[in-house]
Chain A
């Protein structure tokens, strides 16, 4: 390798330092590479310096180790060499959005009587892009579902996700014909785990019983989102709650249906009132750097946070459904470990 050149990480490969090791988050290829913290320090402190300069900063005592590190980065296509590092600026990860809210969860059970007309109209006025409806009912008919969603038809909402219980002979075709914006359908309590690709919208069957909002908030590597949108969200605010407003089964407006703070009831206030409620907005901006343990974790900008289920229900505590310990780099639930 030519030591007069700089070995530069591609600027969408971001090193993140943890307590015991670091991760290079490859935001373009949706993957991460674990690296030792010593390499992190070189990459972070000496970005742009050429190899010769870096080696001499270590008094040329570690030339072989540095060569080996850089070879690893190049072989894995995480870095390239250049004589003009100043022409490759870092990505500015600022986050902004034309929408007043980003997404919303609506929970429905047997006793819910949500004013869907009002909800969808207000979501539309806020520029909401995606809505998830979670049916914690024993049964749901296709006509009920079509009717609930009807007010979404002439709105700016682009994506609708549905979680619903299995019901034999359910006419998916009829549903998708009535509502083209459904882009995800999860069917729980199904007879088997499988994905049905027959329609434009994939249908996920799971045997699991997702019968309440308690099933949310599990953090594990298979669920990591390693892309620029998620990464900048996580730097700026909360990777689950930023711009989220939800309605729980009883009609109360919350960040998500499981977070403790209620902004008011959907029959009494509007979602437009709720988005200016400071106590609710506060959760949008809690990022991982403020959360105990997570702030020392190399995965903090690629895992999805949860503020509803946290250790001892503390506002700034680690999600209780994550089994990772960044201090020992171990998963207490071994099946979470991506390297097993």
Chain B
């Protein structure tokens, strides 16, 4: 009998953090199964069946013993899914663009239902994140954060140039970013990421009078940024000093490799941690990466929380061993019966 106790949903590419967590789980002698979204594409043979006890997942190329049985799973980690672009590549290749679009969106929905059925059926009490709350709505986050008395930047969503102009006049500078988590676009195979960027008065003037509703915030003058990895009430935080370097002042993901930002361990004051903890509870997240700004005026300003942030970028510079901490959380499920 296989006895997978830990189940990890991830994707096959670029998952540095997942790989290290898995090495730690391995070192703790706990049997685990990693499912990548791409395991379910049209190049794999698998079946999902139901028996009285639940949903059984079985891959044809593996021996019978390797089926994943929900009764054995004691903990799960929903990291990512990925691997759905096979739908675009393999289906809806007719000459009719509208028909293609309908075919693909139907298949996306079907595939999403399969994914949901799989993740739901393996849900257990000890789960790091869930499929259902991995797409953060930044507007909801800000509303709840503000209700909990966390500082947030002044924010508007508007489709009107007039309103945007009035908003921008109140601040030295404003920024724009995507409303929901945005992975990026590719144009002729050249990837474009959407970073937070400043929005100048010239930018505003170049807009039409009405436009697609977009997200704007006052730009907070910062002493430094904070990224905090949160797990079940604990915070592992890092200060990011980017101010001395023009290239990274708006969004530190615009890395400057010659003179990297200073990333060092930081301790968020206890009062702020308490509010952030309440926020995570309200968002039903037990794990995530929280972004804050320590403003030049001394305030701690909440920006957003990302349930699936890459925590390697906090773990390595601060030597927090977050991968082991995550592994321990998952492995500990086996001691609970």
A residues whose Cβ falls under 8 Å from a Cβ of B:
10-12, 28-29, 77, 80, 86-94, 96, 98-99, 127, 228, 232
> Can you identify 5 A-B contacts, CB atoms within 8 angstroms?
A77-B259, A77-B262, A88-B266, A93-B319, A98-B324
Interface of A is mostly: loop
Q: Check if B265 sits within 8 Å of A98, measured CB to CB.
A: no
Q: Which residues of chain B come closer than 8 Å to A96, judged between CB atoms?
A: 321, 324
**Residues of chain B from 279 to 321 with CB closer than 8 A to chain A in the complex:** 316-319, 321
Most A Cβ at <10 Å: residue of B23, B268, B269, B316: B23
Q: Check if A88 sits within 8 Å of B324, measured CB to CB.
A: no
Is B260's beta carbon under 8 Å from chain A? yes
Contact of A87 with B269 at beta-carbon distance under 8 Å, contacts A12-B317, A98-B26, A232-B319 already known? yes
Kindly identify which residue among B20, B26, B263, B321 contacts A12, using a CB–CB cutoff of 8 Å.
B263
**A243: min CB distance to chain B, Å:** 13
Q: Which residues of chain A come closer than 8 Å to B239, judged between CB atoms?
A: 88
Q: Which residues of chain A come closer than 8 Å to B269, judged between CB atoms?
A: 87
Contact of A98 with B266 at beta-carbon distance under 8 Å, contacts A28-B260, A77-B244, A232-B319 already known? no
Q: Check if A91 sits within 8 Å of B318, measured CB to CB.
A: yes
**A16: min CB distance to chain B, Å:** 17
Kindly identify which residue among A12, A86, A93, A228 contacts B262, using a CB–CB cutoff of 8 Å.
A12
Kindly identify which residue among B27, B244, B268, B318 contacts A98, using a CB–CB cutoff of 8 Å.
B27
B residues whose Cβ falls under 8 Å from a Cβ of A:
20, 23-24, 26-27, 239, 241, 244, 259-260, 262-269, 316-319, 321, 324, 327
Q: Check if B319 sits within 8 Å of A91, measured CB to CB.
A: yes
In whole angstroms, what is the CA distance A96 to B323 when docked?
12
Contact of A10 with B319 at beta-carbon distance under 8 Å, contacts A77-B244, A88-B239, A127-B27 already known? no
Q: Check if B260 sits within 8 Å of A29, measured CB to CB.
A: yes
In whole angstroms, what is the CA distance A28 to B242 when docked?
14
In whole angstroms, what is the CA distance A28 to B240 when docked?
12
B269 — nearest CB in chain A belongs to which residue? A87
Q: Which residues of chain A come closer than 8 Å to B26, judged between CB atoms?
A: 98, 127
**B8: min CB distance to chain A, Å:** 15
Q: Check if B262 sits within 8 Å of A28, measured CB to CB.
A: yes
Q: Check if B319 sits within 8 Å of A92, measured CB to CB.
A: yes
Q: Which residues of chain B come closer than 8 Å to A92, judged between CB atoms?
A: 319
In whole angstroms, what is the CA distance A127 to B260 when docked?
32
Q: Which residues of chain B come closer than 8 Å to A93, judged between CB atoms?
A: 319
Q: Check if A28 sits within 8 Å of B263, measured CB to CB.
A: yes
Q: Check if A80 sits within 8 Å of B241, measured CB to CB.
A: yes
Kindly identify which residue among A10, A90, A98 contacts B241, using a CB–CB cutoff of 8 Å.
A10
- Nearest first, the 6 A-B pairs at minimum CB distance are A98-B27, A98-B23, A11-B264, A98-B24, A10-B262, A87-B267
**A112: min CB distance to chain B, Å:** 31
Kindly identify which residue among A89, A91, A99 contacts B23, using a CB–CB cutoff of 8 Å.
A99
Most A Cβ at <10 Å: residue of B259, B319, B321: B319
**A287: min CB distance to chain B, Å:** 17
In whole angstroms, what is the CA distance A10 to B259 when docked?
14
